[in-house]
Structure 1
Amino acid sequence: MENRNFQMDTQWNIIHYPEKPTGFGILIIGDERHFVDDSKCFWTQNEGKLAIIDELKEKGYTIFSSNLYGRNWGSENAVELAERLYQHVIRSEILNNKIHILAEGMGALVALKLMEKMKHTIRSVVLLNPILSLKSHLEQEKEHKFFYKKLLGELALAYQMDQKVLENTIISMKESIIYPFECPVKIIHVLSGGRAYNQTKLYQQLFSKTEMNPTFILPEKKQQLGKIMIRFFNSHESVL
């Protein structure tokens, strides 16, 4: 069996099985394009992402992921479901109970909250092109009126709040990134377009007084992503 799709709380989830499992699991939390349905998911439909999944499976990783209510923007509902998915997978599969997390874009907002809630069950975390701050992301989008309006609509839906109230709440937020992180974290950023430049500046602000060094790679080197991730995950598996 290559994969298994199942539902929890109306949301589809998927488990990808390796041929030779090592007993280590990876939870993938996708960006705003991510989806899981009854037979497929974004990471198997996208050529670049599928290559990463194949490389991870080749190394024996069991990979699991959820639709997480679509564009959840780090909502508590999404965080709770991700935690429940972890518990379900640990009960139903033969896996070490300390997992790796691989989160992309918006998915980093869920990952950061899980790192707080599930401190002792997370082995290491890779954040790919992460959105680390809802406040900074909202401020960035202000330059693009259409996207800003669309984002506010998605946030109001995800957080089940009035748009104006939510906007004011986010704007008045303090930055919530707690550093140093509780577990090993690697940030990988693919440099492409103006937004990537803005994100790079944000990382510099957030981590300038820390030892955190994001890895920046050029778009043409994207095929190296799987190997970079495997090397990092692997380096945090010596203690079971």
Structure 2
Amino acid sequence: MENRNFQMDTQWNIIHYPEKPKGFGILIIGDERHFVDESKCFWTQNEGKLAIINELKDAGYTIFSSNLYGRNWGSEDAVELAQRLYQHVIRSEILNNKIHILAEGMGALAAIKLLEKMKGSIRSLVLLNPILSLKNHLEQEKEHKFFYKKLMRELTAAHQTDQSTLENEIFKMDEVVNLDYECPITIIQVLSGGKAYTQSKLYQKVINTPKINPIFILPEKKPQLGTMLIKFFNSHEKVL
């Protein structure tokens, strides 16, 4: 069986099985375009992402992911479902209790909340082109009225509150994001498009620990992502 799709709380989830499992699991938390349905998911439909999935499976990793209510923007519902998915997978599969997390873009918002809630259960965390601060992201989008309106619609739906309340809450947030955890964390930023360069400047402003030095790669190096991930994950599997 290559993969198994199942539902939890109306949301589809998927487990990708390696041919020769090594006993370690990776939770993927996707970006805005991410989805999981009854037969497929974004990471198997996208050629570049599928290549990463296949490399991780070839290295023996069991990979799991959830639709997480679509564009959830790190909502509490999404974080809670991610925790429940972890518990389900740990109960149903033969895996080490401490998992790796790979979070892309918007998925970083949920992943950072999981660091706090799942202390001791996360082995390592990779943030790929992450949105670390909702406050900074909103401030960036304010310059583009159409995108700002669209983003606010998604945020109010995800967090189930009205726009003015949400804006007040977000703009009161601390600019600095707490990433000072014992769990090893790395950030990989693919430098494609102006937004990525802007995002890279934000890292210095929002990261609160010198332990994390973001890695910047050019778009033509993207095929090396799978190898980079495997090397990072492997290096944090010495202690079971």
Same fold (TM over 0.5): yes
1:144-183 pair list within 5 angstroms: 144-175=144-175, 177-183=177-183
Q: Does the aligned pair in 1 maintain the 2:34–2:70 contact within 8 Å?
A: yes
Identity score, percent = 78
DSSP 3-state at the match of 1:119: coil
Do structure 1's residue 140 and structure 2's residue 140 form an aligned pair? yes
Q: Distance in 2 between matches of 1:136 and 1:175?
A: 7
Structure 1, 210-219 or 106-115: larger mean CA deviation: 210-219
1:188 lines up with 2:178 in the alignment: no
Asked whether the equivalents of residues 192 and 218 of structure 1 are also in contact (C-alpha less than 8 Å), the reply is: yes
Stretch deviating more after TM superposition (184-193 or 207-216):
207-216
Gaps of 5+ in 2: none
Does the 8 Å CA contact 1:189/1:216 hold for their aligned counterparts?
A: yes
Distance 1:43 1:164, change over 3 A: same
Structure 1 SS opposite 2:120: helix
Offset from partner CA, 1:38-95 (integer Å, 9 cap, x none): 0000000000000000000000000000000000000000000000000000000000
Residue equivalent to 2:40: 40
Determine the structure 2 residue equivalent to 1:221. 221
Q: How does 1:91-110 map to 2 (within 5 A)?
A: 91-110=91-110
Please say which of residues 171-180 and 218-227 is displaced more in the overlay.
Answer: 171-180
Residue 90 of structure 2 corresponds to residue 90 of structure 1: yes
Structure 2 distance, partners of 1:70, 1:180, is 28
Q: Give, in angstroms, the shift of residue 184 of structure 1.
A: 0.1
Q: Distance in 1 between matches of 2:30 and 2:71?
A: 9
TM-score, scaled relative to structure 1: 0.98
Out of 113-122 and 166-175, give the one that drifted further: 166-175
Shift of 1:207: 3.7
One-letter amino acid matched to 1:174 = D
Aligned partners of 2:165 and 2:223: how far apart in 1? 42
Measure how far apart 1:204 and its partner are.
1.8
8 Å CA contact retained: 2:133, 2:206: no
SS in 2 for 1:13: strand
State the AA in 2 paired with 1:46: N
Which residue number in structure 1 is paired with residue 57 of structure 2?
57
- Cα RMSD of the aligned pairs, angstroms, is 1.0
Deviation at 1:211, TM superposition (A): 3.2
CA change 1:119–1:179 in 2 (3 A) is: same
2:31 aligned counterpart, secondary structure: coil
| AA of the residue aligned to 1:143 | E
Distance 1:174 1:188 in 2: 23
Cα offset for 1:188? 0.2
Tell me the distance in 2 between the aligned counterparts of 1:82 and 1:226: 23
Q: 3-state DSSP class of the match of 1:216?
A: strand
**Aligned-partner residue type, residue 178 of structure 1:** N
How many residues matched? Answer: 240
Tell me, yes or no, if the aligned pair for 1:191 and 1:218 is still in contact at 8 Å.
yes
2:131 aligned partner: 131
Residue 204 of structure 2 is matched in structure 1 by 204
The structure-2 alpha-carbon separation of the partners of 1:25 and 1:180, relative to structure 1 and needing over 3 Å to count, comes to: same
Deviation beyond 6 Å, 4+ runs, structure 1:
none
**TM-score, length basis structure 2:** 0.98
